[in-house]
Structure 1
């Protein structure tokens, strides 16, 4: 019965140390797509630690779980995990607590998805009122929608048929290829399905606000998806064009003042685009991607080592 405890300890250490290590690293701003992958692998590793610990604790506590789980395994494998005599109240309590956490996670994710759908339906209904369909036009046709509005703005509506929305204020403010750069930025969000990353991170953070890795996961997802979309646009239209477009959209919102409260990330994005730090080498990007993919493999290895050792 040591393995479930080791998995819990590994999950706790990962949730505490990973956000600190990633916060000290300088490369995520240069490679936001790789950073998004690393964060997903870290969170997957934490969830995998909890899931495997729950499964093994339940196997120790109840024969009904242990039987199907180890039905094809030799007797020595069961002995290697120390499950033969039952795990007692510790195993039962651990399994029930982790199962409750799993149910709560699923519930929070369901609530987040339902809320997102409700917000999306309300936004599309408002859009149909402000920009009625033309004769012969189909709803959710993937068209670019232009709204009458003095405030420069552009956004995308997620869904099975994402729609790009831009106001007439943005059309009048943005010059040259700046509008194209803004639309490329929004299309980058739509193509990469960043909305799902935001939904998952928000569900975990709201469901477990005291877990550092989930709170940091949500904060970093909001930041990194914007940087990744900026890079998509800048590769086609140039960093200066994207930076000028960001300034044009946000200069009337007070984000560049001495005390910018709303959307404080915008000045940082503009500064990042203007400084143009070089990307990491392809070899280093590949190394980081491979190392991140190995992180979720660690709890799997911890869970399988006793059984594999018994078979050798």
Structure 2
């Protein structure tokens, strides 16, 4: 079978089936960090299928590209791929996949720029609401307290990340609940969840008809919150972070019968108050290794003819 076609079929199968299989599983809520790793491996595998198919198709279509792709290969490897067999349609496929790669880069650049613009706007608004005192340097304090009637707390990422919290939240949060909220937001910052959100948003916006990219975006938004909840709960207890979530969100109507933008908050609270048994360390290691093999499958498919030629 022609290798580029096999790679494209493999990528299409993974893109269509992986979201369904993960949606039917109940373990991602128990192991959100592991679930994020699995999603990243699946997406990486789909993208790798496209990149390898583009490279082989371009090698079949243009001699100059062929010389670069097979330059380090021993004699006889290029013949094993029978590039002339799919030369008639190789150029359109390579150009289509190359356009998809350029479009992905454009979408990612747009997502990063939009996020930076929003962050700059929020920093400017923060400076208006909490101006610097005479002689004070903009050193980027890690905690900023704002006067506000609504309990809110959020992490503002960047070169000098800040936790912003309102006075209403300080009045609401009791005991170690403030520390738990801080640990939750620091969990986002340490794991660089903002980059996961950028990448998933770029892929889903650029290719809205591809199920794996849409599922990746939707699940990342949910799983990063669960992962950050787990970071806080390990330090301060599940009850503490659950009560903090209730205190910060009960005035938003999220616990009522009508769904809102914060509809996942009640689910997060229920998960914290009714924990399920986590996987053992051995099981997590096995699943991590198995997920890492997903991007290896396209590489194996691409290199099998060359390896056979060497034996």
Q: Into which bin does the TM-score normalised by the smaller protein fall? A: over 0.9
The count of residues paired between Structure 1 and Structure 2 equals 311
Q: Deviations over 1:43-71 (max 9, x none)?
A: 00000000000000000000010012112
Structure 1 residue aligned with 2:229: 230
CA distance in 1, matches of 2:191, 2:120: 21
Q: Deviations over 1:205-246 (max 9, x none)?
A: 000000000000000100000000000100011001111110
After TM superposition, the structure 1 stretch with the greater mean CA deviation from structure 2, 219-228 or 142-151, is 142-151
CA distance in 1, matches of 2:88, 2:159: 47
Structure 1 residue aligned with 2:11: 11
Structure 2 residue aligned with 1:96: 95
Structure 1 residue aligned with 2:114: 115
RMSD: 1.2
Q: Deviations over 1:55-102 (max 9, x none)?
A: 00000000010012112324421111112x373331111000000000
Q: Deviations over 1:88-142 (max 9, x none)?
A: 3311110000000000000000011111111111110111111112455432524
CA distance in 2, matches of 1:261, 1:143: 30
Compute the displacement of 1:278 (Å).
1.7
Compute the displacement of 1:143 (Å).
2.2
Q: Which consecutive residues of structure 2, in runs of 5 or more, have no partner in the other structure?
A: none
After TM superposition, the structure 1 stretch with the greater mean CA deviation from structure 2, 273-282 or 213-222, is 273-282
Are the counterparts in 2 of residues 140 and 163 from structure 1 also a CA contact under 8 Å? no
Q: Deviations over 1:152-191 (max 9, x none)?
A: 0000111122110000110011111111111111111111
CA distance in 2, matches of 1:16, 1:92: 26
CA distance in 2, matches of 1:156, 1:57: 45
